[in-house]
Structure 1
Amino acid sequence: MTEFVTAHEPTIRMAFFVGIFLAVALAELLAPRRILTTSKLSRWIGNIGIVFISTALLRVVFPAGAVGISIWVGHQGWGIFQYFQWPFWLEVVLTIIVLDFVIYMQHVMFHAVPVLWRLHMMHHADMDYDLTTGNRFHPIEIVISLGIKAGAIIILGAPPLGVIIFEIILNGMAMFNHGNFFIPLGIDRVLRLLVVTPDMHRVHHSVFPNETNSNFGFNLPWWDRLCGTYKPQPTKGHEQMTIGLNQFRDPSRLTLPWMIALPFIGKGGTYAIGKRGAKSGD
């Protein structure tokens, strides 16, 4: 099965992407959680356009991608998994869990280091919150992220199947937990014990710095609880909370060119962890 999945990785990942995108988009249409405040067409053009730019850049910088790196590492016989006689299924499961923790720590780092925050704030500058926000990352941040994942894959000696499954889950969950759809509160309380739900992650997109610097997880909710970064609900509630960053409140600047330029011309504000005022309110 590993050979089949590896050989057809692009097709499989695209199928999951399209399927999850359509499912979340339909849920947003049928049961919206919040009323959108800005032009959906303008936001979607920018948020989806940035995906194509990032994908093209990755093909130049990392032609093989995370899965190709995993295959190469396996041929070299590198990594922790090469020194233990573990069942293959356990290596796959551990790959998913460890890479998820790496992404959690990476996310915290992008909030803690001012120069990295300037890249990451493009993601937070979106003034509404829907599934396309989950794909709104600066291309340079995407390249750095793949570099960090590559390091983790090399250290682990992660199997290609585990990497493929993780990449599918990460991409799908980014759309799911940025979805603007309603989940009954009772179900959400149980579900967020297992995965990051939209209501849990939406807190992270509040304009309040102390809420922005919480709920960093994308897939598994455990890291926020274990590391003390978990915040159950936004102060003003999900319907009344303000999405975005205080220093970027002009809807006309949600265009693709402005998004790309934002890290270099925009103000960083007081959101970086440890910066004066970063734990204060609005």
Structure 2
Amino acid sequence: MNQAAVRLLTFLSLLALLAMAEYRWPQHAASPMRQRRWPVNFGLGAINVLCLRLLLPWLAVDAAFWARQKDFGLLHLLHVAPWAAAAIAFVALDLTIYTQHRLMHRIEILWRLHRVHHTDIALDVSSGVRFHPLEILLSMGIKIVAVLLLGASPAAVAAFEIVLSSFSLITHANLRLSSRLDAALRWVFVTPDMHRIHHSVRPEAHDTNYGFHISWWDRLFGSYLPQPQLAQDTMPLGLTIFREDQAQGLAALLIQPAKQWH
């Protein structure tokens, strides 16, 4: 089974498990509005997959195969042992994604793309695929550049991509964990409660907790917020703009970056 099939099987299995878990153990009290939100969110996800396949000649794993064939990149140049190179590549790619995420909140033109993700007025597993196609294409381009500069191995890149897509589902899940388990997991991983803070309607909260699956970067770079001012189970989610039904449709989200954000 190739890495694409493994990634798809992992994604679908995790999606089904988390959807069932959300139904049984929800954390946030707001209605998930699945019948209205899921076709839109997963519709965006499907468009993103098609854009990656049809518009880019390479994906990150393809870049890794090329780098290995040409002995291109820093890790090849320094002759780093394979196990150490894989670990370095994984951590470096995660730092790259963390940095990209922070810039998405700081640079207006990037925020216009990223706010499509933040205008979801509820949060559940489907939010993990709600991204504008241009953001997905840009993110893949950044990963390709990082992979080439590092000379990351195909195995390390494939593992990173599987973990990244899996944690996008996990961290957006409306899933209640015990406070002790949540606190323990946060020493290494981003938990649903930690990431839900990032989706608070309050600007001082959604400008924190940028990590996708490793929590270290937020602690290291001062963007970690352990708890929101409002209760986790009732705090308003999304943004103060684009909350109307007509602004939440698929077509509206695709053209949303062209609209003013303030």
Q: Which residue matches 1:66?
A: 60
Alpha-carbon distance in 1 for matches of 2:221, 2:247 = 35
Normalising by structure 2, report the TM-score.
0.97
Give CA deviations for 1:55-102 in whole Å, capped at 9, x if unaligned.
111112223311111101211211011122322121111111110000
| Greater alpha carbon shift after TM alignment, 87-96 vs 43-52 | 87-96
1:262 and 2:259 aligned: no
1:103 and 2:97 aligned: yes
Opposite residue 193 of structure 2, the aligned amino acid is D
2:197 to 193, 196, 203: 203
SS at match of 2:165: helix
Sort the Cα spacing of 1:38 and 1:83 in 2 relative to 1 into closer, same or farther, 3 A.
closer
The aligned length equals: 262
SS at match of 2:237: coil
Q: Which residue matches 1:243?
A: 237
Measure how far apart 1:253 and its partner are: 2.6
Alpha-carbon distance in 2 for matches of 1:65, 1:51 = 16
Alpha-carbon distance in 2 for matches of 1:251, 1:238 = 24
Alpha-carbon distance in 2 for matches of 1:137, 1:202 = 16
Q: Which residue matches 1:274?
A: none
1:194 and 2:221 aligned: no
1:140 and 2:114 aligned: no
1:127 and 2:149 aligned: no
Alpha-carbon distance in 1 for matches of 2:177, 2:31 = 21
| Greater alpha carbon shift after TM alignment, 63-72 vs 11-20 | 63-72
Sort the Cα spacing of 1:251 and 1:39 in 2 relative to 1 into closer, same or farther, 3 A.
farther
* Residue ranges of structure 2 left out of the alignment (5+ in a row): none
Alpha-carbon distance in 1 for matches of 2:50, 2:31 = 31
- Give the alignment of 1:167-186 within 5 angstroms: 167-186=161-180
Is 1:127–1:251's contact at 8 Å kept on the other side of the alignment?
Answer: no
Opposite residue 57 of structure 2, the aligned amino acid is P
Is 1:74–1:159's contact at 8 Å kept on the other side of the alignment?
Answer: yes
Q: Which residue matches 2:30?
A: 36
- List 4+ stretches of structure 1 deviating above 6 A: none
Alpha-carbon distance in 1 for matches of 2:26, 2:141 = 36
2:217 to 219, 223, 245: 223
Alpha-carbon distance in 2 for matches of 1:263, 1:239 = 30
Identical aligned residues as a percent = 35
SS at match of 2:232: helix
Alpha-carbon distance in 1 for matches of 2:53, 2:208 = 32
Measure how far apart 1:20 and its partner are: 1.1
Measure how far apart 1:38 and its partner are: 5.7
Q: Which residue matches 1:94?
A: 88
Give CA deviations for 1:199-233 in whole Å, capped at 9, x if unaligned.
00000001111111000000100000000000011
Is 1:33–1:180's contact at 8 Å kept on the other side of the alignment?
Answer: yes
Opposite residue 81 of structure 1, the aligned amino acid is L
Alpha-carbon distance in 1 for matches of 2:84, 2:44 = 35
Normalising by structure 1, report the TM-score.
0.90
Is 1:126–1:133's contact at 8 Å kept on the other side of the alignment?
Answer: yes
Is 1:38–1:251's contact at 8 Å kept on the other side of the alignment?
Answer: no
Sort the Cα spacing of 1:250 and 1:38 in 2 relative to 1 into closer, same or farther, 3 A.
farther
1:165 and 2:137 aligned: no
